[in-house]
Amino acid sequence: MRRRLALLVVLALAGACGGTGDSKDGGEKRFLLVMHTALAGSISSKPDAELLELGHRACAGLDSGQRSDEVVSSLSGDALPGSAEFNGYAYLVASAATELCPSHKSQFQGTVPGSP
């Protein structure tokens, strides 16, 4: 439950950044812009190529049917839910779902009170 709550908070914040993920290059640019903010935590200092690789791995996990918390756990090396590291990777997964693989964006909508 804590993992889901942490991910939902991150997703709500990611949704506030806008973007439709309508083109690959545009989606990647928006993803990187979102990931290089303070909301991403320490992960924000990673190089663009590494962030994109992580984002595409997140999309692959979601595409294969993994739950978002499983994807976060896998990418973060099993960071503890609620930790700064876990939250940074949760933000990455939410941002990837919004900008890199928007077919998964709907999985994260309507799960936070007040969100569409």
Between 3 and 34, the more confident residue is: 34
The predicted pLDDT at position 11 comes to 47
Report the candidate in 85, 83, 80, 34 with the shortest Cα–Cα distance to residue 55.
34
Domain boundaries, the chain: 28-107
Distance of CA 108 to the CA centre of its chain: 10
Query: How is 9-65 classified by DSSP, letter by letter?
Result: HHHHHHHTT-----SHHHHHHHHHHHHTSGGGGGGGGS-HHHHHHHHHHHHHHHHTT
The predicted-structure confidence for 80-112, as pLDDT tens digits, reads as follows 999 999 999 999 999 999 999 999 988 867 443
The predicted pLDDT at position 4 comes to 47
Which two three-digit tokens encode residue 11?
């997703």
The predicted pLDDT at position 23 comes to 54
The predicted pLDDT at position 50 comes to 98
Residue percentage of the chain with pLDDT more than 90: 66
